[in-house]
Amino acid sequence: MMKIKTITTTPFDDQRPGTSGLRKKVKVFQQSRYLENFVQSIFNALDDFQGKTLVMGGDGRYYNREALQLILKIAAANGIGRVMVGCDALLSTPAVSCIIRKYHAYGGIILSASHNPGGPDADFGIKYNTGNGGPAAEKITEAIYQHSLMISEYHTLETADINLSSIGEQRVGDMVVEVINPVIDYADLMEELFDFNAMRALLSSKNFSMRFDAMNAVTGPYAVEILEQRLQAADGTVLRAEPLTDFGGAHPDPNLVHARELVSMMSGTNAPNFGAASDGDGDRNMILGCDIYVSPSDSLAILAANATLVPGYARGLTGVARSMPTSQAVDRVADELGIPCYETPTGWKYFGNLLDAGRITLCGEESFGTGSDHVREKDGLWAVLFWLNILAVRKQSVADIVHDHWRKYGRDVYTRHDYEGVPTEGANALMEQLRVRTGELSGQHFDGYTIERCDDFSYTDPIDQSVSSQQGIRILFTSGARIIYRLSGTGTEGATLRVYIEQPENDQVKLSHDAQTLLADLITLSASISEIEKHTGRKAPDVIT
Ligand code: G1P
Ligand code: ZN
């Protein structure tokens, strides 16, 4: 007989969810009652979930399976009716969103620390998504945090571990656990949106080849099913396809630094025509052509400009949105299309209301996140398939498509400099001294650059009027250039300072020049205005994208 047990506990004070859920070192999560407290706090913060369905899965990182076992027992003890869980505890973040929506589930729990490394000494995370398939709004994450500060007991079911390795239904107390194929629903949705026939024809042509680097993370099985099975791309198109608990020791972050092998494969005479990669939980993407890297901000603008070539978007876009630090490239496309472009704070949750209200169709972030109203998360493989569909229709190279776009709309030369693991006090001091100087900086001149305005970004959601303030310091120049400073909300060690630097460029000659060179003066200015070295002790960033 399975018994519901109520266990006494005391609060932890560090369970405030960040940019995307609660993210900590595995060792923190492994403390007795730590995960239990947080999961019970989720249920304490929610209403009317008795007998309802939740979707659960994770990116396969270390502690994924153990955590899921524990969560299932707490869910059963709290009266959840059914849990749909990916086989072997796997589900990519966009797949969770897709499944919540398709089966009208009450919500879902995602176990992931996204692009952060995995393993016993690395990172773990948990995130709650609501019935629209998207990350819970700040109101809910804050309520969960408040409950975590007052928690005194949690409920769990005394039962053996649940078999998560075979597809089908089983009973756990009064709750049904349905172990599902993690890939099928998502792959079916992709088949509805994109022209698989045209893409199959492109992939079978002798003049075209692609590589997708799954980085030993969760998208491996999805990419094999969609690219190699349904689209019949050559075997071996998907690299590092097997999900590993430590991602093979690498950072599962698709950028120029962490996807180095793919990047080097993409140049030279035998380079494939198209290269792409995705992150730990499958919501990020990087797009490469032969000898060209497409910045995520440009990628969003190019997808928006070409959307009607893709069946799922043939009717056009209602609007677009980008996070504040994302370059202004998509703004010009929106102008041209005569549709609204919204500027939101960093984090996917801010797109949710706009998507739900039908105000936007596409949205994206500079941090390798692109998505649409098909789910309520950013979606790595979706972006790759969108590009592949455009390539199949336009029959041009990635580089030609990018250069055509720049010729028509101009180019937003863009870079992001990250200073990782810097002392928290220094990082806070840097932000604070900029914050107090916003007024005084306006109107100042620095060789060739005039600051038009400087502020700390604040956003009022157009749907529910909720206000999010202190979302990053913006220095806006009269030329349209911008320097933005913000502290990461996803790191687990010290603070991470992100500096975003952007300058519009219409000079045709400069269009193909390297971004770091074109932005050299602004980069120097960004360091001196904010006194980066004084506050962080760093002379140079750790990661440049
Ligand atoms: C980072 C990105 C942000 C993204 C988030 C989750 O957050 O900058 O755009 O939404 O990861 O993938 P940050 O660490 O900057 O708070
Ligand atoms: Zn991610």
Same domain, 18 and 164: yes
- For ligand 1, atom 5, name the residue with the nearest CA: 347
- For ligand 1, atom 15, name the residue with the nearest CA: 488
Whether the pLDDT of residue 507 is over 90: the answer is no
CA of 411 to the centre of ligand 1 (A): 24
The two three-digit tokens of residue 236, written as one number: 């071996």
- pLDDT-derived band at 464 (thresholds 50, 70, 90) equals very high
Which has more confidence, 81 or 255?
81
CA of 183 to the centre of ligand 1 (A): 25
Same domain, 306 and 372: yes
Q: Which range is least confidently modeled, 185-194, 360-369, 372-381, 437-446? A: 437-446
Domain boundary, last residue among 157, 181, 205: 181
Whether the pLDDT of residue 415 is over 90: the answer is yes
Same domain, 426 and 491: yes
Pocket of ligand 1 (CB under 6 A): 19-20, 114, 323, 346-348, 365, 367, 369, 488-490, 498
- For ligand 1, atom 10, name the residue with the nearest CA: 347
pLDDT at residue number 209: 96
Q: Nearest to residue 275, comparing CAs of 218, 233, 217?
A: 233
Whether the pLDDT of residue 1 is over 70: the answer is no
Same domain, 351 and 270: yes
Pocket test for ligand 1, best of 299, 490, 499, 543 (most atoms within 8 A of CB): 490
Whether the pLDDT of residue 490 is over 80: the answer is no
What positions carry a catalytic annotation? Answer: 114
Q: Give the Å distances, CA to CA, from 251 to 116, 122, 217, 279, 365.
A: 6, 10, 10, 9, 20
**Radius of gyration over every alpha carbon of the chain, rounded to an integer in angstroms:** 23
Q: Tell me, what amino acid is at 203?
A: L
CA of 388 to the centre of ligand 2 (A): 21
- For ligand 1, atom 8, name the residue with the nearest CA: 367
Same domain, 224 and 283: yes
The pTM for the full model equals: 0.95
Domain limits for position 161: 4-181
Same domain, 299 and 202: yes
pLDDT digits (tens, 9 = 90+) for 51-79: 999 999 999 999 999 999 999 999 999 99
Q: Which range is least confidently modeled, 37-41, 406-410, 511-515? A: 511-515
Pocket test for ligand 1, best of 346, 468, 499 (most atoms within 8 A of CB): 346
Pocket test for ligand 1, best of 367, 419, 492 (most atoms within 8 A of CB): 367
The per-residue DSSP string of 472-484 comes to -EEEEETTS-EEE
Number of compact structural domains in the chain:
3
Mean pLDDT of 295-313: 98
Whether the pLDDT of residue 134 is over 80: the answer is yes
Question: What does the alpha-carbon distance between residue 275 and residue 293 come to, in Å, rounded to a whole number?
Answer: 9
Whether the pLDDT of residue 480 is over 90: the answer is yes
Mean pLDDT of 523-540: 95
Same domain, 195 and 296: yes
Which bound ligand lies closest to the C-alpha atom of 113?
2
pLDDT digits (tens, 9 = 90+) for 164-213: 999 999 999 999 999 999 999 999 999 999 999 999 999 999 999 999 99
Whether the pLDDT of residue 512 is over 80: the answer is no
CA of 488 to the centre of ligand 1 (A): 7
Q: Measured from the CA of 365, which atom of ligand 1 is nearest? A: 9
Question: What does the alpha-carbon distance between residue 347 and residue 357 come to, in Å, rounded to a whole number?
Answer: 18
Same domain, 253 and 389: yes
Q: SS3 sequence, 296-307?
A: HHHHHHHHHHHH
Same domain, 243 and 360: yes
Q: Tell me, what amino acid is at 61?
A: R
Which bound ligand lies closest to the C-alpha atom of 484?
1
pLDDT at residue number 447: 80
